[in-house]
Amino acid sequence: MVQHGSALNFRDFVDELVRVGDAVMIDASVDAHLEAAAVARRVYESGGPAPVFNHVNGAAPGYRLMGAPAGMSALGSGYGRIAAHFGLPRASGARDIVEQLVAAMAAEPIEPAIVDTGPAKEHIMVGDEVDLERFGVPLLHRQDGGRYFGTYGMHIVRTPDGSWTSWSISRLMLRDKRSLVGPAMAQQHLGMIHRQWAALGKPTPWAFVLGAPPAAIAAAGMPLPDGINEDGYVGALTGRGVEVTRAQLHDLMVPANAEIVVEGYIDPVETDLEGPMGEYHGYQFEDSKPQPIFRVEAITHRDRPILPFCVAGMPPEENHTIWGTMIAASALDLLRRANFPVDFAWCSYEAATCWIVVSVDLDALRRQPVGEAELVRRIADILFTSHVGWLVPKVLLVANDIDITDINQLVWAMATRYRPGMGEYVFRDAPGIPLVPYLTAEDVRNQRGGKAITSLLQPEQLASGRTHGIAAQFTTSYPEGLQQKVIDRWTEYGFPENSSLANGT
């Protein structure tokens, strides 16, 4: 019996998106060399439906690609594709999604359900049969150093003592038909475990999953604490243990209904050049770097497999919509557990996962006023010592009279509440991810610097929890009765019936 639902079965996820018009099946032939990526890139920038390419020049017959699996949509709230990753209603907004993720962090983990086999093993290739080229691996940007097989997949590795199995995200570039190359940074869970095996002089047993259960691919990008198994969190998030089956070669458990599973080893010594690649921060640089080689010895996949891909670059794309959302949930959980006066946390998609915004609860400040420097010190101690703070270099503090998920309100708050020379606190020694584009060469070598907390809190908010001034807008500048009258008469005035304002939103 195959597990179903958009959160736990990627094929169901695709079918649901097609049914509601948020994905489109493309039967015209599309080239894997830049064309598929160009279509996906335009989808990100226009809010169009996710493209599923059924006929790919450069792929074996029946092998398919899907772009923009978690792009923002012009339909409804815009978060429909993201909500579908977790089995949530399409109308869910940012707060609905993040609160669901946080609630699952406090819930009892639900262990995966082990099954004998699944759709992921409908086709099996081992040894000389292995050929990564048959998938039509896309070239994503013309400046890239190679074609990228893994931009929306997850690594599965386990520590040598068997105590920790990690599901994690890190890109993989095609090297040849039987090998890949990509980063495994020491601060990443993938890199931590790889180094444990390398210290023993052994290759790291490894699997890589594409078309994983959507909730699993999201959890794999979440900065959960070291030693925590993502599979139990996925169970808590979805209410059911995710079905897994034994990998073809290793004693690793992989999602039973995945689209594609590749298996092999991470070489303990040998490296090759990887990149350059257009990246999540929106820039394309010319650097390529030596990275570990991932040797592929087996491939299993579903009938007519779908290889999902992300075209990293200017936001929003999956590095912002999924990774940023999971980071926001982790930050909110950390702050709440530390009794910080937080209302919400959000990685603004437009900021390319380079800042996280924390809204401070004004009621809490009213009950217990606090100085700005003390508030900043507290949040730095919580976030900049965590994996969340390692990933995101900037923190913005805003009172919760601002909806921090609305970029227009946030820009207004930055323009009218930031006090130049007074509201910014720099943390030069805080560790951070070396991919941040404005870091100096020395910062990158030291993997420190580029960290700051910027306060957009008014002095009155800190002292008494009260906002100086009232926002001049529809909801505050007119009596409630008149507001409702205007909403009720909206179409009578001559505005379109399908306008969001016609529904009072």
The set of catalytic residues is 279
Task: Return d(Cα 471, Cα 457) in angstroms, integer.
Answer: 15
Closest CA to 331 of 347, 351, 315, 353: 347
Task: Return d(Cα 369, Cα 461) in angstroms, integer.
Answer: 8
220 annotated to bind ligand: yes
387 annotated to bind ligand: yes
194 annotated to bind ligand: no
Rg (CA), the chain: 23
Task: Return d(Cα 26, Cα 56) in angstroms, integer.
Answer: 10
222 annotated to bind ligand: yes
Closest CA to 135 of 72, 79, 56: 56
Closest CA to 129 of 297, 303, 306: 297
173 annotated to bind ligand: no
Closest CA to 78 of 103, 119, 44, 55: 44
- Specify whether the CB–CB gap between 184 and 190 falls below 8 A: yes
HEC per residue, 235-303: HHHHCCCCEEEECCCCCCEEECCCCEEEEEEEEEEEEEEECCCCCCCCCCCCCCEEEEEEEEEEEEECC
Q: Which amino acid is present at 454?
A: T
Residue listed under structure tokens 């890109």: 171
Q: Which helix (H) or strand (E) holds 461?
A: helix 459-464
Burial of residue 35, with CB atoms counted within 10 A of its CB: 0-12 exposed, 13-18 middle, 19 or more buried: middle
Distance of CA 255 to the CA centre of its chain: 19
320 annotated to bind ligand: no
430 annotated to bind ligand: no
Task: Return d(Cα 163, Cα 430) in angstroms, integer.
Answer: 30
Please give the DSSP secondary-structure letter assigned to residue 119.
Answer: G
Question: What is each CA distance from 28 to 135, 184, 280, 307, in whole angstroms?
Answer: 17, 37, 29, 17
230 annotated to bind ligand: yes
Q: β-strands 243-246, 172-176: how paired?
A: unpaired
468 annotated to bind ligand: no
- What are the binding residues for K(+)? 167, 219-220, 222, 230
- What are the binding residues for prenylated FMN? 171, 188-189, 230, 387
- What are the binding residues for Mn(2+)? 189, 230
- What are the binding residues? 167, 171, 188-189, 219-220, 222, 230, 387
